[in-house]
Chain A
């Protein structure tokens, strides 16, 4: 038996992985310190009692037919607000995601004009990527509530401001996450299609979409569920729906009605979960 040769030296790890991990842990601990939040507080006898008293006020939920009938329309409104908001988000989010997917624009795997060797052509080919990333960051950094308040100035009080608020904020989120899902898909099949003379859009349609469709769909459905919650919050600032009813009932100290409305919100989220599971199975 001959001695096995020494393995080639391992290339150095990308610098600072450990440092990043340590810094992140420190940041998490520091956040608790800074906010003065003490988890033990939640479990003291005193606060447990207060929580129990407050909680009992919600029981039993008001299930009188008269009241339930009045909540039907707000519940529908919440679904509509969420769904229309998602439609707007997809309308802007999908094109932005296509621009923000690194594998489509950087590195040259999909370049119809060959791998840009460098210089101004390469920089230009990466422009859509950087511009869309910047736009998406801007859209995302402002929460939907603040977007909605801004749109109230433009469109007046009502659902339109809420739809646009959800639409813009969620387009920012969808654009980023969709781009990252597509980046995670093997680019070589699409590159093979470009190499055979196909254009980039066609190569992406065949080479990337089918493989990532299910994940894109499931994420979009999850976001629809989130939009349901967001729609409820927007109700607090006048966009209508269940949120507005919750706000009113809380202001009136009608806790049992609040409980009913919260239950309905729970049902909506569960409903979207069921629909999502069904659709994902259909497209499996």
Chain B
């Protein structure tokens, strides 16, 4: 079967304000097959967002290799790179929507890679392909907000607009960074189910960063645990025990050890093996 993403010993570090370096990804190797769906979990600062940005080609690795469908993006020309990028849709943690545009335009922005500049301009004045925008909006449940300015929407609604924008792009691969962080629990389940359906019915590869561990374990056949920039485990949900989770979230700045233990016990009830 085709590989969608391939990472070989990838390192990525950032310069901090005090001049030091922070190595966010420390030697990650990973193969994601076309049509697979993966949830990435791990404590805050583990490098989940950085990993996603390496996959959608907004970051270049300092060393190691990244390949999309077998292609090394650093070796292709601009046009080919653009086509490569159009294959992957991304839902960002901060949404990265255009606040002053109406919802319909933010969704249609997912079509820009296949529109000419004139068509793009025309659509800003009088929206093109409203039908497909409305369909994407309906799928994520923001149809009634289609003509609102995006910055007037609630956080959860904006998050769903960001998902609709990625859907309308019709990408082969879908990356989502905490796509349900700002929606309520029942909506969260429905949205993840939507992503999983796209994966199952249309064969789209999906990689989703989640801090909601029960949702990750319930919906995804493959769970990647990221810790301090390294792959800590890469397992099916059935093999993930409370102890492993305990160690994954060890040293999380937000919680003491006892709190972590209590949190895992509390949230894992029924959704964990053993």
Contacts and interface: CB of A to CB of B under 8 A. Distances in A.
A175 interface: no
B109 A193 contact: yes
B12 to A, nearest CB: 11
B58 A191 contact: yes
Interface residues of A, number: 28
Most buried by B among A194, A196, A199, A203: A196
B96 A210 contact: no
A12 B20 CA distance: 13
A193 B74 CA distance: 19
A189 B96 CA distance: 5
Interface string A200-224: 0111011100110100000000000
Contacts of A192: 90, 92, 96
Interface in B53-92: 56-60, 73-74, 78, 81-90, 92
A203 to B, nearest CB: 7
B112 A188 contact: no
A106 to B, nearest CB: 16
Interface in B155-213: 166, 169, 171
Contacts of A201: 117
B120 A210 contact: no
Given A113-B78, A202-B115, A211 B98 contact: yes
Given A11-B17, A115-B60, A206-B124, A196 B169 contact: yes
B60 A205 contact: no
Nearest to B116: A202
A117 interface: yes
A66 B56 CA distance: 73
A195 interface: yes
Contacts, number: 94
Given A189-B98, A202-B120, A195 B56 contact: yes
B121 interface: yes
B94 interface: yes
A9 interface: yes
B110 interface: yes
Interface in B127-178: 166, 169, 171
A267 to B, nearest CB: 34
Nearest to B102: A210
B112 A202 contact: yes
A201 B82 CA distance: 13
Interface string A120-142: 00000000000000000000000
A277 B99 CA distance: 23
A273 interface: no
Nearest to A205: B120
A202 B117 contact: yes
Contacts of A9: 18
B267 interface: no
A117 B60 contact: yes
A114 B121 CA distance: 25
Contacts of B86: 196-197
Interface of B: 16-19, 56-60, 73-74, 78, 81-90, 92, 94, 96-101, 105, 109-110, 112-113, 115, 117, 120-121, 124, 166, 169, 171
Given A114-B73, A192-B96, A198-B112, 18 more contacts: A11-B18, A112-B81, A114-B81, A189-B96, A189-B98, A189-B99, A195-B58, A196-B89, A197-B85, A197-B86, A197-B112, A198-B113, A201-B117, A202-B115, A205-B120, A206-B101, A206-B112, A211-B98
Nearest first, the 10 closest Cβ-Cβ pairs linking A and B are A197-B86, A197-B113, A198-B112, A192-B96, A11-B18, A197-B85, A11-B17, A210-B100, A189-B98, A195-B58
23 contacts: A11-B18, A112-B78, A113-B78, A115-B59, A115-B60, A188-B92, A189-B96, A189-B97, A189-B98, A191-B96, A193-B109, A195-B57, A195-B85, A196-B88, A197-B169, A198-B82, A198-B112, A202-B115, A205-B124, A210-B100, A210-B101, A210-B124, A211-B99
